[in-house]
Amino acid sequence: MAFPLTHDDPQRLGPFVLVARLGSGGMGTVYLGRSRRGRTVALKTMHAEFAERTDFRTRFRLETDAARVIGDRHGARVLDADPLAEVPWLATEYVLGPPLDEAVGLCGPLPEDAVRALGAGLCEALAQLHGTGVVHRDLKPSNILVTATGPKVIDFGIARAEGDDRLTRTGAAAGTPAFMSPEQATGAEHPPAGDVFALAGVLVFAASGHGPFGGGQAADLLYRVRYAEPDLSGVPADLAGVLLRCLDKDPAARPGTGELRSLLDGDGAAPFAARLPGALHAEILRRGEAVWDIEYQRLPPPLPETGPGEPGPTGTAGTAGARTVPRRRALLLGGGAVALAAAGGGAWLALGPDDDGGTPAKKPDGPKAAPTAPGGAPKEKWKLRVAGLTRNNVVTLGGYVTYAANSGLGTVEARSGKRSGTTSELDEFREVFTQDGKLYAANLGRVFEVDPKTCSFREPAITDFTKLGLTGDAELVGAGDGLLYLSGRSEKARKKGRRGKKEQREEWLAVDSRSGKVTWRREGVLGATATRAGGMLVFGDQTTLLAVDARTGRKKWKLHFPDRPGLKNVEAAVRAHSGPYLFVGDRLLVAIRVADGKVAWTFGEDRKDSGEGEGKWRYGAPAVDGDLLYVLERDTGLVALDRRSGKLRWEMKTDWITGVDPGTAEVVMGRELLYVSGTGTQWVRALDPKRRRELWTYQGPGDSDSVVLRAHERGGRLIAVGTSHLVGLPLQ
């Protein structure tokens, strides 16, 4: 996805004119640029505060050198660079192809033949790199682009010469925990064999859709990398045997890149493109077309800051547009372009014939004013009428939005609003969940895998709840790491009391999504919400939080609110999860530590409450933005809290909060704006959290008791769902 340039972005870098932003991270910004002859390139720059430091300039230069070493066959060709400029920059070709993690999310796990060809290509790339004494040190799915001619390795931000620790603190682990080698996880030297370990993890992901050591907190991942056996479930048996050697904890026991290439793809007769799934071919072609749709745009300077008591201008398209600067993110995907701007690294993408630089022959057009709707809101990009929409069953996956309605499931393209697929084969859909790039829908005692693009059903993951020992009214309550989590009553009655009275047992179950077999089951409480956090599944009912190991079902911790002074009247329902915390509560907002279930902080005890609004929650589900939590507070409006301490940073008082139930309102963070859902015809309010003021209100196409909001970053849309309409607004 491309974003407009900001008012203070440079006009050009070297011989390239900047056209758009592709992404901005903690270390720098990635731009889309074009040369005089129309060649499209990706340009990475370093933020000024880092450019002033010699060590970061050295790292930038080494990244450029490593990108040149790997060459254009196995990486993105370096076209030009100036690491000594006031703003250091690096220009590379614009590679047509999605990163591997997005490819698997779009197409599912790749066929074994494709995985072997992918591995063979990556072995050649690493051999090229290692032959010059350089190790990559951060090989992972998002750093591998899948093209029609083979995989390309990118992001050399922490690559360095073997044995050279000048740019890495002794004892510090640099890299991505899920794909680190055991030696790297301890902060020790990462040799070429460490890249082989990471390569095996990448191939496990490509073949199964999950990493060899699962997910969760960094500390948990690093522990599993060092001591646990890899999870190769879903990997074909012959391939698993090869990868298991590469994942040996002892670097000396791993095969070299040459031997591994022979083990993976001895003859290499079939071309790489012939082994890719059709859907992946289509995505590569789509990106080739979409890159030409990116047009030059530059935002005007932001409006002057106003004091806390000074009134700001009311929301209009012009003023809202002036503030629509992309929020810093580590990963930005979509629109035919992929840009990674993580700390210390960048991703490089390229297109077009070789040429020299120069001045553009024609000056691009400037930005155009966005059309507005009543209330000063941007005009909707699309609008669809769908009868009987189900509020909670709206999920986003890839480039699509899937919804459940009285007529069944439906899918629309998030960007265009075009109907992609519908089905009325099944009714009474109760739950829809996404898991590892897949979509599951529960219906009438079964769980189906659903194609997010066409809404067609694949083989049921669970064919019959009763075969699992549950009654037919069991519910799907979560999904993750290849497991589906159910809540229901056991079919097998148990005796209780002297007279042997029989009653059913309430249970939670984990079922393997591939085999349909029960992985674990334990006694539970019906109606409890399930939240995945840090390798655990946290169940919450009105009084208790219970955390169990997501893979085994074993109890980790339990927090009974009535036993805690100050929490006796607080509902134990998880409202959000961010990093090390679960955010819980209704009358108070409570932060619970995921690791041990301890209360980190509470907010709201000393806040004034009118006592009005019976039946409404005092606090809503928080929206997380870095170290800030944005929360609706009844009688006040919006409050901003420090995520770690719970201290109040600021508050924004509003009149309309009296008509909103914080317990059901949706609060969604966009790129720069905060969106709050409403009721009736006032569907969406846009707030500027930096200037603490309301910008505009979107009037929906009809009355709605409650509106669901989803921010679709890839499609650049804010999806608003009412009782009978879906609307796509520009995501700002």
Indicate which residues carry an active-site annotation: 138
Find where tokens 């939590």 sit: 629
Beta strands in 513-613 (DSSP E): 518-523, 529-533, 536-540, 544-549, 555-560, 574-578, 581-584, 589-593, 599-603
Can you give 131-154 as a three-state secondary structure string? CCCEECCCCCHHHEEEECCEEEEC
Amino acid at 488: G
How far apart CA 263 and CA 276 sit, in angstroms, is: 20
CB of 136 closer than 8 Å to CB of 100: no
How far apart CA 431 and CA 473 sit, in angstroms, is: 12
How far apart CA 635 and CA 360 sit, in angstroms, is: 56
3-state secondary structure of 267: coil
- Nearest Cα to 97, choosing from 271, 285, 332, 279? 285
Total residues found in the chain within this entry: 732
Half-sphere exposure of 684 (CA within 13 A, CB side): 36
DSSP letters, 84-129, are TSSS-EEEEE---S-BHHHHHHHH-SPPHHHHHHHHHHHHHHHHHH
CB of 167 closer than 8 Å to CB of 58: yes
| Element of type H or E holding 69 | helix 54-74
501 annotated ligand binder: no
Q: What is the DSSP letter of 490?
A: B
Beta strands in 398-528 (DSSP E): 400-405, 408-413, 419-423, 431-435, 438-443, 446-450, 457-462, 475-480, 483-489, 494-496, 501-503, 506-512, 518-523
Report the DSSP beta bridge partners of residue 545: 540, 559
CB of 684 closer than 8 Å to CB of 667: no
CB of 279 closer than 8 Å to CB of 106: yes
Helix then strand then coil, % of the chain, to nearest 5: 20, 35, 45
Cα-flanking dihedrals φ and ψ of residue 27, to 5°? -100, -30
Cα-flanking dihedrals φ and ψ of residue 537, to 5°? -115, 120
* Start-end of H helices in 228-309: 237-246, 257-264, 272-275, 278-290
How far apart CA 511 and CA 480 sit, in angstroms, is: 11
Six token digits for residue 281: 């071919």
C-alpha dihedral (476, 479, 484, 485), degrees to nearest 10: -60
- Nearest Cα to 1, choosing from 355, 341, 357? 341
CB of 646 closer than 8 Å to CB of 600: yes
Q: For residue 322, count CB atoms less than 10 angstroms from its CB and return exposed for 0-12, middle for 13-18, buried for 19 or more.
A: middle
Can you give 166-219 as a three-state secondary structure string? CCCCCCCCCCCHHHCCHHHHCCCCCCHHHHHHHHHHHHHHHHHCCCCCCCCCHH
How far apart CA 683 and CA 432 sit, in angstroms, is: 23
| Residue set of the binding site for ATP | 44
| Residue set of the binding site | 44
